[in-house]
Amino acid sequence: MARKSRKYWDEKEAKVVEKIYSTAVYARLSVEDNEDEGSITTQVELIREYIDNHIELNYTDVYIDNGYTGTNFERPEFTRLIQDTRKGKINCIVVKDMSRFGRNYIEAGYYIETVFPFLGVRLIAINDNFDSNRKSDMDSLMLPIKNMINMMYAKDISKKVWIALQQKKKNGYSVGNTIPFGYIRNAETRRNEIDSQTSFYVYMMFQWKLMGISVNEIRKRLDMLSVPTPRKRKQGKGWSNSTIGLILRNRVYIGDTVSNKTDKALYRGREKTILTKDRWIITENTHEAIIAKDDFDRVQDILKEQKTGFHTEHKKAVRAKYDMRGFVFCAECGSAMLYECKTGIGNYICRNKKTAGICKKNYINEKLLLMYVINQINTAVSELYDKDRLFKNRLNEINRNIFCLIKERRLLKEKKRKLYEGHAAGEYGIEDYKDKKNIYLMKDEQIKNRLADEREQLLLIEQKRKILRICFNELEAVSENMDLNDEFIKKYIKRIEVGRDKRINVMFGFYDILENITINKEAHVI
pLDDT at 308 exceeding the cut of 70: no
pLDDT of 359-391, one tens digit each? 777 888 888 888 888 888 888 888 888 888 888
pLDDT at 257 exceeding the cut of 60: yes
DSSP 176: S
pLDDT of 9-48, one tens digit each? 554 455 556 788 999 999 998 755 444 445 788 899 999 9
Q: Which residues pair with 273 in a beta bridge?
A: 263
Percent of the chain with pLDDT strictly greater than 70: 73
Element (H, E) at 328: strand 328-330
**Domain spans of the chain, in order of start:** 8-154, 171-308, 309-526
Which superfamily does 8-154 belong to? Resolvase, N-terminal catalytic domain (3.40.50.1390)
**In the chain, what is the straight-line distance between the N-terminal and C-terminal CA atoms, in Å?**
47
What's the average model confidence in pLDDT over 408-432? Answer: 87
What's the average model confidence in pLDDT over 386-398? Answer: 85
Q: Which DSSP string do the residues of 21-70 spell out, in sequence order? A: EEEEEEEEE-TTSSS-THHHHHHHHHHHHHHHT-TTEEEEEEEEEET--S
**Closest by Cα among 318, 402, 409 to 366:** 318
State the chain's mean pLDDT as an integer: 77
pLDDT at 126 exceeding the cut of 90: yes
Q: Which residues pair with 162 in a beta bridge?
A: none
Of residues 294 and 146, more confidence is placed in 294
Tell me the pLDDT band of 73, cut-offs 50, 70 and 90: confident
Q: What is the 3-state secondary structure (H, E, C) of 334-383?
A: CCEEEEEEECCEEEEEECCCCCCHHHCCCEEEHHHHHHHHHHHHHHHHHH
pLDDT of 173-218, one tens digit each? 555 557 889 888 887 777 788 888 888 899 989 988 888 888 888 9
pTM, two decimals, is 0.36
CATH number, span 171-308: 3.90.1750.20
